[in-house]
Amino acid sequence: MDQHGRRRNAAILWGIILFVILYGGLLNYMKTLTGNNTLDGAIGVILGLYLCSHPAANLVDLIFFERGAGLRALTKRSALGWLALNIATFLAGWLVIVNGTTRFIIKPH
């Protein structure tokens, strides 16, 4: 598998952001996925960690595998856009983690 081709795939990151929006909308509409807050929380935390792993892997590649060349390339406009997309994706995944952890303390009605 070509790691370099996958690393710069913006469609994956946009797909993650779209998925988080749909997931949040579904939770807002239904209030629960399974009817059990503990299970919903576990699903949210695990899903959020997985979603955050993509931009985190991109950052590791940028810092370590490009041997600093990636950091020097951040002055280019396209590289700054790529970094902003990774940050936005990471924050979207982080919101899923926060939503999942709050499900652990929600009292059933």
71-104: pLDDT as tens digits: 566 667 777 888 899 999 999 999 999 999 999 8
Residue 2: is its pLDDT beyond 60?
no
DSSP state of 2: -
**Model confidence pTM above 0.85:** no
pLDDT for 78: 75
109: three-class secondary structure by DSSP: coil
Residue 4: is its pLDDT beyond 70?
no
If one counts every other C-beta atom within 10 angstroms of the C-beta of residue 80, the result is 12
SS3 content of the chain, % helix, strand, coil (to 5): 80, 0, 20
Residue 7: is its pLDDT beyond 60?
no
Q: How far is Cα 105 from Cα 100, in angstroms, rounded to an integer?
A: 10
pLDDT for 22: 96
* Residue whose token pair is 């060349």: 69
Instruction: Give the contacts of 75 (CB within 8 A, at least 6 positions apart).
Output: none
Inter-residue contact 58 to 7 (CB < 8 Å): yes
pLDDT for 106: 82
If one counts every other C-beta atom within 10 angstroms of the C-beta of residue 46, the result is 13
Dihedral through CA 18, CA 22, CA 23, CA 25, nearest 10? 140
